[in-house]
């Protein structure tokens, strides 16, 4: 039985659907800080949970009989940069609570890290699995500290912690809130709604990206991986593609020839993007648990546009 925090977030909302179909709806407890009528709250067990409330988190996990904790609740990079103290308290306080509850109840543990765990002094191309990590954002500080904390709980307490460093994730169910790679999601909505998009990230800014179906499969594959084969744990580099705004615009133009792209760079989010790698090396994930992806940029664009046409009724 699996307990998920942040179940209404960009990853959480689709992870719940995936887990329910893989393991049965009654075996997945979705939790989030607020109740919002949705597939997540209607399709199976749901409880309101503020992850900074350790007592309630423990009670919910114990009463549900959860054997796996998937801690997805966090503030993303741009939001964390504008509210760094709140970000520290939520991102680190929530993580510590989730690790402690998992240790007390001997649960398997998953939480995502991010390419945001790397900084400007990290090699930018084919960023290695093991390399210098001196991020310059609060989000990155939270992610590096989180990786070290999860490894600590594995080495000190034997807790079965596993994680991946996600790239920018592109999805059509729940929009990301407060991320830097969100431009790559916004662009599809605006392409259909307005036929044009003004990017807050500059042309020539390369970042790793992945389509949500590949991200969800990676989580399931990692959690089901043979622990004997894991050399790393927190957290594996995973990526599907690396592109800049002009390349995703060109991919959309192949489907919507009249689509127009403009730029109005947001200095704060551009500075975050500039501090991250251009492309990371996922070979450790491939070697240790068979990580693979199915979507490249054009295949993702075709699927995103068709799914959004239905969702937006266009
Ligand atoms: C963000 N989408 O932009 C998240 C993610 C790698 C990017 O961490 O903050």
Residue 69 in contact with residue 98, Cβ under 8 Å?
A: yes
Residue 159 in tokens? 């807790």
Would you say the pTM of this structure is higher than 0.95? yes
Strand 241-243 relative to strand 108-110, pairing: unpaired
Give residue 177's pLDDT. 84
Q: Ligand 1 centroid vs 176 CA: distance in angstroms?
A: 9
First CA to last CA distance, the chain: 39
Q: How far apart are CA 163 and CA 222, in angstroms?
A: 8
Mutate-to-test residue for ligand 1 from 111, 114, 175, highest number of ligand atoms within 8 A of CB: 114
**239 ligand 1 Cβ < 6 A:** no
**112 ligand 1 Cβ < 6 A:** no
* DSSP state string for 70-85: EE-----HHHHHHSHH
Q: How far apart are CA 312 and CA 73, in angstroms?
A: 27
- Per-residue pLDDT of the chain in tens (314 residues, 90 and over written 9): 999 999 999 999 999 999 999 999 999 999 999 999 999 999 999 999 999 999 999 999 999 999 999 999 999 999 999 999 999 999 999 999 999 999 999 999 999 999 999 999 999 999 999 999 999 999 999 999 999 999 999 999 999 999 999 999 999 998 888 999 999 999 999 999 999 999 999 999 999 999 999 999 999 999 999 999 999 999 999 999 999 999 999 999 999 999 999 999 999 999 999 999 999 999 999 999 999 999 999 999 999 999 999 999 99
**9 ligand 1 Cβ < 6 A:** no
Residue 251 in contact with residue 186, Cβ under 8 Å?
A: no
**94 ligand 1 Cβ < 6 A:** no
Give residue 176's pLDDT. 81
Atom of ligand 1 nearest to the CA of 169: 2
Give residue 276's pLDDT. 98
Q: Ligand 1 centroid vs 296 CA: distance in angstroms?
A: 19
Give residue 83's pLDDT. 97
Give residue 175's pLDDT. 85
| 215 closest CA partner among 282, 309, 146 | 282
**138 ligand 1 Cβ < 6 A:** no
Q: Ligand 1 centroid vs 272 CA: distance in angstroms?
A: 10
Residue 4 in contact with residue 28, Cβ under 8 Å?
A: yes
Residue 286 in tokens? 């491939």
Q: How far apart are CA 230 and CA 250, in angstroms?
A: 39
Residue 129 in contact with residue 75, Cβ under 8 Å?
A: no
């Amino acid at each position: 039985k699996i307990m998920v925090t942040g179940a209404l977030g960009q990853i959480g909302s689709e992870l719940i659907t995936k887990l329910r179909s893989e393991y049965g709806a009654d075996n997945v407890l979705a939790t989030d800080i607020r109740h919002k009528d949705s597939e997540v709250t209607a399709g199976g067990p749901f409880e309101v949970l503020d992850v900074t409330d350790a007592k309630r988190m423990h009670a919910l996990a114990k009463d549900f009989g959860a054997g796996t904790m998937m801690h997805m609740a966090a503030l993303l990079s741009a939001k964390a940069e504008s509210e760094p103290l709140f970000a520290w308290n939520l991102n680190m306080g929530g993580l510590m609570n989730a690790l402690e509850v998992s240790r007390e109840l001997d649960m398997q543990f998953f939480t995502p890290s991010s390419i945001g765990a790397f900084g400007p002094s990290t090699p930018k191309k084919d960023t290695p699995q093991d390399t210098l990590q001196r991020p310059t954002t609060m989000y990155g500080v939270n992610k590096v500290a989180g990786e070290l904390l999860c490894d600590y709980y594995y080495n000190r307490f034997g807790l079965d912690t596993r994680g991946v460093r996600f790239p920018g994730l592109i999805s059509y169910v729940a929009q990301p809130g407060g991320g830097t790679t969100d431009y790559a999601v916004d662009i599809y909505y605006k392409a259909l709604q307005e036929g044009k998009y003004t990017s807050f990230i500059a042309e020539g800014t390369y970042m790793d990206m992945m389509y949500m179906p590949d991200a969800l499969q990676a989580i399931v594959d990692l959690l089901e991986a043979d622990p004997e084969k894991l050399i790393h744990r927190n957290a594996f580099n995973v990526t599907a593609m690396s592109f800049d705004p002009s390349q995703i615009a060109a991919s959309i133009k192949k489907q919507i020839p009249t689509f127009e792209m403009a730029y109005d760079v947001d200095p704060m989010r551009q500075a975050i993007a500039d501090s991250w790698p251009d492309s990371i090396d996922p070979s450790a994930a491939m070697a240790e648990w068979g990580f693979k992806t199915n979507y490249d940029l054009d295949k993702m664009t075709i699927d995103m546009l068709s799914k959004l046409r239905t969702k937006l009724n266009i």
